[in-house]
Structure 1
Amino acid sequence: RISDEIYHKLECEAYKKFSKEIKFEEFVIPRMIARLITRLNIDGGQPEHDLCINVPKSIDRRTWYDLLGHRDEIICSDRHLNVWLKTIKQIELLFKDKFNNIDLLEIFGKILINRFRVGFIENLFNGRLAIGWAIYLTTSRFNHSCQPDLLQCSYDINMRLKFSDSNKIIPQTTLEFDKLTVSYRHQNDFRLKSPLTYVPNRIQRRTFVSFFFFNCHCIYCNDDLCNRYDESATNHLCYKCGNPLILQLYSQKPNLSIINCISKNNSCQTEQIIDYVNISIIDYTEQSIDIYEEKLSNIQQILHENSILLLQEREKLFFVYQKLIND
């Protein structure tokens, strides 16, 4: 409570000077940095209360200083460096030289990589709405898995760890607790309640490398050939090897996709295009729910029922309906 009062005083001083010039919703990271510096001066990075509300007291607490800042990787990444340069300008605008003696890049890196969305229950249908960001020290300790042990569910400012297997309970020892996994893909998505949508794909793995500086080598990602089958298998079979044909992007015409076989069977010519299809995915630009339904129906006629791409399109439609309920 004391830290909130100190921080609000600091932030209000900045707001009074620039309230007409600044859209404060665009200054989320600078404001998080300022709040965190305030907290560090009070509790030294070891908060009294853990925002993960169902962690056993027997588990060793994690501190702010256990987090990795990835400062060396950030300055070598165009994506992160651009955010950092924008952030440092915003900090200088809001707070002038108040933080000159603090390693802001280290704090920036820890916040950027380890922040989680904060949400709250909005209505009787359990629709959740993002209202901000927070650092959950306990959740940040877990390693990634494309089929994780834990789902992350936030309620108000608190986060609750939930097993994807309802028969499991949270371990009471730190050694066993640290073996649990979460999905980095949905690190900031508190809406998911089932592990079924935590599925690997090539885009996801590239995101891991470019954003989290992490390359997944789990059994679901390691064999790229098998992964591509799981990802975009169609309901058409190859007449030579019997495997599902694969839907892939067509580089020459972005509006088209191609269907071919990528089997390891030597009898198959993997470079041969078997068919061309025009597939339209759900992109949230249309206003009518009927259009979303029609798109999903068309995709279902092409993709295998267990295709990861199809699962992801169904997930999108679920969130569209959820948004309608919330609105």
Structure 2
Amino acid sequence: MLIGEVARHSGVSPRMLRHYDALGLVRPTGRTVGGYREYSAEDVRRIFHVESLRSLGLSLRQIGRALEDPAFTPSALVSDLIRWTEDRLEREEELLERLRAIDASAPTGWQDVLRLVELIQGLNSTSAARRQQAVLARPEGVSIPAELLAGAVLAESDPNVAGALRWALARSSGDGLATLAAGAHSEDADIRRRAVLAIAEMSEAPGATAVLEDALGDPDKTVRRHAALALGSRGVTAAVPTLVGMVVEGSNDVDAAEVLGTLSRDPGCADRIMTALVDELAAPTADSATRIRLTQALVELSGTTAQEVLRQLAHEGDRAVALVASAFVEVLDKRSPGDRGDEVSSRRAAVASAQGRGTG
């Protein structure tokens, strides 16, 4: 077959076929009387072999070695090709995310595009300080797409930068909840923690509460605790068991106790919280430190039942618990009816008083 016919059958242009000939990659077996290239069936098969290997990303030099050198094994080369392809796809995915972020910002001119690109580059910096500066000192007039901020939140490991990103996301005009919700179901526990923390600060986002409620069943304790604190602050009583557990375990127990106090203002929930705390106080596994934390949590609760339990604990056989309970009773007795005051200060004053008694 002449070169034109080969080109039609193979889909390889005559110019590329001449290039293959010049490189010695596919040389036609013969020539016509007029000097035109004439390809045999074997030559055509070799052309298809070359094109098949090119489709895998091999260079023409590598293809020549593969076809000519029997010792040239594919295993190492294929592994390299996989790595190069993965790197290329990662770069292209990053480019695609940048383009989507720019499109979401609805730029009105190229200056807007350049400002947003500068911001994206700042967020991708290896310097935590520069990433934080990019969030807090973003160019004037540039609206950061919520999806971009949400993605950055999920990837950010520095606590200061993460806090700045959550702050910016909570105040953005867009909706990054879908991105965060996907992060809340990640296999990586760190990503789930970041997602729940960010969702906790998005109080106005529709659907945020449902994602947080789902997080109460997360296998990671930290995720469950973040979700419980946020839900309890929103009045969701499903958080009560986790909050009580936080008091028992001594993990953010002060915050958990304060949220339980807020929930206890609902009469329908107060008895449930009281019962849970009293049951933990009576648990045979509760040591003195645990019972002190539970006693401290009682002072946060509304109503007279908590005060009655504290008065009973003031006569507890465990001296440390009795001293703390007595100190709390004194604080509560001095407080005006209906005035909850500064609960954290009251608790600290009572604990300090109890400690003073114990060392006096």
Specify if TM > 0.5: no
> Which has the bigger relative contact order, CA under 8 A and spacing at least 6?
1
Q: Determine which structure has more spread, i.e. the larger CA radius of gyration.
A: 2
Which structure has more strand as a fraction of its residues? 1
Which structure has more helix as a fraction of its residues? 2
